[in-house]
């Protein structure tokens, strides 16, 4: 009887703790969403924003959202045709906005070759906002040893090296002005181990931890540094074409994420992804990894089956 009562009280206590966490989460979400003001990007000390991976998806949406707020845009990506098209779209849609394009293939080029090109392109520009968005993932989930070693190196170059390089290029002028904002795009998969996407998740975890450290190092110098950890968004990378309640379009996602700049140093950027992450964090790590592994295995099987049909 005593043992049964003890178990019952422990159960009640666990429910109370969970209810308390949910209450605090909802209160925090509502407060940040409706009672706090985001950072005005036009007051970041520069008239320009630089966005990497800016011709598709989230990167392109950031370019348009920042241009809408009155910033000129430096577009950095690998496709000259897409760069020219996006630049033309921006200048046509937002009267008075200037653009500058810089062609860089972070996947194939060595950083020593593109650093001088980027530095030369922006040497006379005051960059108020830097968005490190460029990234790549797997074609489909798979085991580490099934990945081509060259592909792994390429993924690290795109997801990690580009982040380090672009931050080192742009951050000094922000520090000199004592104003600026750096937005780094990580991934919800960086918040926990993701079997069958191990290298991708680990590379995005680097983005997350790097950003948190950088934010502390440069807060006293007037620099706002934010890490965004999105879940699925309609994009070429996710291969999802239709939006839903928990899969927003890039435009909706970026509008939400920018509304948290200066409020949340680390955020999923979108309310549904915040909710997902909250409940994920409640699960025991071993249980979570098992669930994720089963999900990734199912996606892998589906992708391989599709490949076999195509061949």
User: Among residues 58, 45, 47, which one has the least CA distance to residue 185?
Assistant: 58
Query: Quick one: tokens of 109?
Result: 């080029």
Question: Within the chain, what is the greatest distance between any pair of CA atoms?
Answer: 78
Cα distance between residue 143 and residue 234, in whole Å: 25
Residue 235 has, within 13 A of its CA and on its CB side, a CA count of 26
Q: What is the pTM of this model?
A: 0.89
What pLDDT sits at residue 7? Answer: 46
CA distances from 48 to 163, 255, 303 (A): 18, 18, 41
The predicted structure's pLDDT at residue 6: 45
Per 3-state DSSP, the chain is made up of helix, strand and coil in percentages (nearest 5) of 60, 10, 30
The percentage of residues in the chain with a pLDDT greater than 90, rounded to a whole number, is 77
Is a pLDDT exceeding 80 seen at residue 264? yes
Catalytic residue among 62, 114, 200, 270: 200
Lowest mean pLDDT among 4-18, 34-48, 271-285: 4-18
- pLDDT of 61-79, one tens digit each? 999 999 999 999 999 999 9
Distances from the Cα of 211 to the Cα of 103, 137, 183, 262, angstroms: 25, 20, 9, 14
* H or E segment and range at residue 285: helix 285-310
pLDDT in tens, 96-115: 999 999 999 999 999 999 99
User: What average pLDDT score do residues 181-191 get?
Assistant: 96
pLDDT range class, residue 238, cuts 50, 70, 90: confident
The vertex-80 CA angle with 77 and 82, nearest 5°, equals: 75
Q: Burial, 194: exposed, middle or buried (Cβ in 10 Å; 0-12, 13-18, 19+)?
A: buried
Q: Active-site residue 200, yes or no?
A: yes
Give all domains of the chain, ordered by start, each with its CATH number.
38-297 (3.40.50.720)
Beta bridge partners of residue 52, listed in sequence order: 76
Q: pLDDT grade, residue 1 (50/70/90)? A: low
pLDDT number for residue 21 = 60
pLDDT at 53 over 50: yes
- Average pLDDT for 25-53: 81
* pLDDT of 12 higher than 60: no
Would the pLDDT of 9 be above 80?
no
Predicted confidence band of residue 162 (pLDDT cuts 50, 70, 90): very high
Compute the residue count for the chain.
311
**Nearest Cα to Cα of residue 250 among 237, 231, 233, 267:** 233
60 pLDDT exceeds 80? yes
- 287-296 pLDDT, tens digit each: 999 999 999 9
d(CA 161, CA 25): 34
pLDDT at position 121 is 96
> For residue 196, what pLDDT band results from cuts at 50, 70 and 90?
very high
């Amino acid at each position: 009887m005593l043992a049964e009562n003890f178990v019952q009280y422990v159960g009640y206590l666990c429910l109370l703790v969970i209810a308390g966490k949910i209450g605090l989460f909802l209160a925090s979400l509502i407060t940040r969403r409706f009672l706090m003001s985001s950072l005005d990007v036009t007051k970041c000390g520069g008239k320009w924003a630089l966005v990497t991976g800016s011709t598709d998806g989230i990167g392109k949406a950031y370019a348009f959202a920042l241009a809408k707020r009155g910033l000129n845009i430096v577009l950095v990506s690998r496709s000259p045709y897409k760069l020219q098209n996006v630049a033309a779209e921006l200048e046509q849609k937002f009267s008075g906005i200037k653009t500058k394009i810089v062609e860089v293939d972070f996947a194939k080029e060595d950083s020593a070759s593109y650093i001088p090109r980027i530095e030369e392109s922006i040497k006379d520009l005051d960059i108020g906002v830097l968005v490190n968005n460029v990234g790549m993932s797997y074609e489909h989930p798979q085991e580490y040893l099934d990945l081509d070693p060259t592909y792994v190196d390429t993924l690290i170059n795109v997801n990690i090296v580009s982040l380090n390089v672009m931050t080192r290029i742009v951050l000094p002028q922000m520090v000199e002005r004592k104003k600026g904002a750096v937005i780094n795009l990580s991934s919800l998969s960086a918040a926990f181990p993701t079997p069958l996407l191990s290298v991708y998740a680990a590379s995005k975890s680097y983005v997350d931890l790097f950003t948190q450290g950088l934010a502390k190092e440069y807060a006293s110098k007037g620099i706002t540094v934010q890490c965004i950890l999105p879940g699925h968004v309609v994009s070429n990378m996710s291969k999802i074409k239709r939006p839903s309640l928990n899969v927003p379009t890039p435009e909706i996602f970026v509008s939400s994420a920018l509304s948290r700049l200066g409020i949340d140093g680390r955020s999923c950027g979108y309310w549904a992804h915040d909710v997902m992450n909250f409940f994920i964090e409640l699960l025991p790590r071993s249980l979570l990894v098992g669930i994720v592994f089963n999900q990734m295995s199912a996606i892998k099987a589906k992708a391989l089956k599709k490949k076999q049909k195509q061949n």
